[in-house]
A and B are shown apart, each in its own frame.
Chain A
Amino acid sequence: MRKTEDRIFHALMGLFSLITVLLLAFLIFFIFRESQTAIREVGLAELLTGDQWRPLIYKDAPSYGMRNMILSTLYVAALAVLFALVIGVGTALCLACAATDRQRTLVMPYIDLLASIPSVIYGFIGLYIVVKFFEKLGRATGESILAGGIVLSVMILPYMISSCCDTMVRIRSRYGDASAAMGVSKWYMAGQMVLPASVRGILISMALATGRAMGETMAVMMVMGNSIAFPKLLGKGETISALIAMEMGIAEVGSTHYSALYTAGLVLMVLLFAINIVFELLKKRLAKEGAV
């Protein structure tokens, strides 16, 4: 019976969607509730704009200002996405438009494989290659925002390449013959047609990559030096996720410190939502202009 099957299928789909939404709502509610103590005692403005995070003591009381962590998080993520964008889109274009099908199917699995390497390994390699490299160049310490951005960009690169490449291959296989029949070269096609037509796809992968970059903890924690200083390209910094990961274990349950860490988590979530909304708006805007 087609009908009953359909109904069961729909009911199940509805149920699972409901569970997902409830789970999300619960998560937000829980984090929101846990952060109330800090918001009440420290004040939201101080939490967001204060530049001192001293859970033990600062002057005569603990201080919970996470401005620099917020900025570090955005800084590293922006660097990483920027690097990954330039390299990833370029690589994807070459793979989609210049490489033969054979070459592409040969290379792709290895790129996908890169995505499955645990982040602690990336941190490790980052420490021994990127950080060491900066130290060789004569800096006292190589741990820095830039190091974090580089390591992070390598981590999101495989994802950028394979998702952009998917989009571009789709476009090329649809319009490639028509373009070749006009007597233009494949590089012209890559730059003038495939790239512009992939902008939407690229934006989507950027949004997802940004999410990954901002949430990533382990590898950046290992190469960024974790200082609460104002983030500078070659200076140390600490991301929100690193802050939470490092201090959650030592904060006393129910304390202001504990609650302030939840606030940090809340801020991270809000940032991610905001960024996704921005990408969504960009996408809508493009669609309206009739790009694709």
Chain B
Amino acid sequence: MSDAIIKLHDFGVAYDQKTVLSGVNTSIRSGRITAIIGPSGCGKSTMLKAMNRMLETQKDAAVFGSVLLNGVDIHTMEAEQLRRKVGMVFQTPTPFPMSVYKNMTYAPQYYGVTGKQELSRIVRENLEVTGLWEEVKDDLNKSALKLSGGQQQRLCIARALTAQPEVLLLDEPCSALDVKSTQVIEELLLKLKETYTIVIVTHNLFQARRIADDCIFMLNGELWEQNTTEELFANPQKKETRDYLQGVYA
């Protein structure tokens, strides 16, 4: 069994004094895909954003308990360092308004990579991993905003990889995409888990089943049940979990 890379300990979040997440204790295992599922508003995005401290950009959010990355409390780390190790892809594709190439060199240049060859290599390798290279290699200078939605989302994943993270957080990355693009991204994630630990929030239970190794079911701001995906779907321990899984199947 692989080790925990992220651990949440008595973790909770309140927005403006209103508790939306409480008493969360869990481990994310490294080298696997963990899916977070649960009804809308149960706190999935909130939990995900806590893992790279993106909650801090919301000024009324207060955080309790601790989050450990490789055993180190993330609140003792520099936010920049943390986010470099824990990358994030958002629900709506957010390519920066610049060329594909510049999107890909944005972070490496900040981290001090300057050589043109080295930069080109980073651009190429990460675009290849996401399968975008063949589609854009002749036109790296075109605006990233002109890519299709699916291409944009793959670009965002490739861009997150340029920071060489250990963990990749994805918040419903396929909800704005069609079936074909979704499939491409799922295959991509399965390929990526060899190198990265992946945590994905999804509303699509089929998707969770297809790609996730572990599954976390959340309800009303609490971690309701967690298990391997197989176990959780085949053998839910709690009534609410069963209801949720069945309700969607029905």
Which A residues fall within an 8 A CB radius of B? 100, 171, 174-185, 188, 192-193, 196-197, 290-292
How far apart are the CA atoms of A190 and B60 in the complex, in Å? Answer: 24
Find A181's partner among B88, B109, B146 (CB 8 Å cutoff). Answer: B88
Shortest distance from the beta carbon of A185 to any chain B beta carbon, whole Å: 7
How far apart are the CA atoms of A196 and B107 in the complex, in Å? Answer: 16
How far apart are the CA atoms of A191 and B54 in the complex, in Å? Answer: 21
A179 touches B96 (CB 8 A): yes
How far apart are the CA atoms of A274 and B75 in the complex, in Å? Answer: 57
Given A174-B94, A177-B57, A193-B106, the answer on whether A182 and B142 have CB atoms closer than 8 Å is no
Shortest distance from the beta carbon of A282 to any chain B beta carbon, whole Å: 17
A180 touches B54 (CB 8 A): yes
- A100: chain B residues within 8 A (beta carbon): 59
**Which B residues between 156 and 192 are near A, CB-CB below 8 angstroms?**
156, 159-160, 163
**A interface SS class:** helix
Contact string, B102-135, partner A, CB cutoff 8 A, digits 1/0?
A: 0000110110000000000000000000000000
B110 touches A188 (CB 8 A): yes
A180 touches B57 (CB 8 A): yes
How far apart are the CA atoms of A292 and B144 in the complex, in Å? Answer: 9
Given A175-B96, A175-B97, A292-B97, the answer on whether A181 and B83 have CB atoms closer than 8 Å is yes
Query: How many residues of B are in contact with the other chain, CB < 8 A?
Result: 31
Find B159's partner among A182, A197, A291 (CB 8 Å cutoff). Answer: A182
B110 touches A175 (CB 8 A): no
A291 touches B87 (CB 8 A): no
- B20: chain A residues within 8 A (beta carbon): none
30 examples of A-B residue contacts, CB within 8 angstroms: A171-B97, A174-B94, A175-B94, A178-B96, A179-B96, A179-B106, A180-B54, A180-B83, A181-B54, A181-B90, A181-B160, A182-B110, A182-B159, A183-B79, A183-B81, A183-B83, A183-B84, A183-B110, A184-B80, A184-B106, A184-B107, A188-B110, A193-B96, A193-B97, A193-B98, A193-B106, A196-B98, A290-B141, A290-B142, A292-B97
The interface centre, meaning the residue of B79, B82, B84, B106 with most chain A CB atoms within 10 A of its CB, is B106
Shortest distance from the beta carbon of B124 to any chain A beta carbon, whole Å: 19
How far apart are the CA atoms of A185 and B88 in the complex, in Å? Answer: 16
Find A178's partner among B99, B110, B145, B156 (CB 8 Å cutoff). Answer: B156
A182 touches B156 (CB 8 A): no
How far apart are the CA atoms of A180 and B90 in the complex, in Å? Answer: 12
- Extra contacts, 9 of them, besides A174-B94, A290-B146 (Cβ < 8 A), are A100-B59, A181-B90, A182-B160, A184-B106, A192-B106, A290-B141, A291-B98, A292-B97, A292-B143
Find B97's partner among A177, A183, A197 (CB 8 Å cutoff). Answer: A197
B52 on the A face (CB < 8 A) = yes
- B98: chain A residues within 8 A (beta carbon): 193, 196-197, 291
How far apart are the CA atoms of A94 and B31 in the complex, in Å? Answer: 41
- B52: chain A residues within 8 A (beta carbon): 181
- A193: chain B residues within 8 A (beta carbon): 96-98, 106
- A176: chain B residues within 8 A (beta carbon): 57
How far apart are the CA atoms of A100 and B98 in the complex, in Å? Answer: 25
How far apart are the CA atoms of A237 and B72 in the complex, in Å? Answer: 68
Shortest distance from the beta carbon of A258 to any chain B beta carbon, whole Å: 52
How far apart are the CA atoms of A177 and B160 in the complex, in Å? Answer: 13
The interface centre, meaning the residue of B57, B94, B142, B146 with most chain A CB atoms within 10 A of its CB, is B94
How far apart are the CA atoms of A100 and B60 in the complex, in Å? Answer: 13
- B82: chain A residues within 8 A (beta carbon): 183
**Which B residues between 68 and 101 are near A, CB-CB below 8 angstroms?**
79-84, 87-88, 90, 94, 96-99
How far apart are the CA atoms of A177 and B57 in the complex, in Å? Answer: 8
- A196: chain B residues within 8 A (beta carbon): 98
- A174: chain B residues within 8 A (beta carbon): 94
How far apart are the CA atoms of A197 and B98 in the complex, in Å? Answer: 7
How far apart are the CA atoms of A278 and B78 in the complex, in Å? Answer: 47
How far apart are the CA atoms of A58 and B160 in the complex, in Å? Answer: 73
- A188: chain B residues within 8 A (beta carbon): 110
B83 touches A177 (CB 8 A): no
**Looking across the interface, which residue of chain B has its beta carbon closest to that of A100?**
B59
B87 touches A181 (CB 8 A): yes
B110 touches A184 (CB 8 A): yes
Given A178-B90, A193-B106, the answer on whether A183 and B99 have CB atoms closer than 8 Å is no
Find A291's partner among B54, B143, B156 (CB 8 Å cutoff). Answer: B143
Shortest distance from the beta carbon of A164 to any chain B beta carbon, whole Å: 16
Shortest distance from the beta carbon of B58 to any chain A beta carbon, whole Å: 10
Shortest distance from the beta carbon of B113 to any chain A beta carbon, whole Å: 13
- A171: chain B residues within 8 A (beta carbon): 97
Contact string, B206-250, partner A, CB cutoff 8 A, digits 1/0?
A: 000000000000000000000000000000000000000000000
A182 touches B87 (CB 8 A): yes
- A179: chain B residues within 8 A (beta carbon): 96, 106
Shortest distance from the beta carbon of A12 to any chain B beta carbon, whole Å: 36
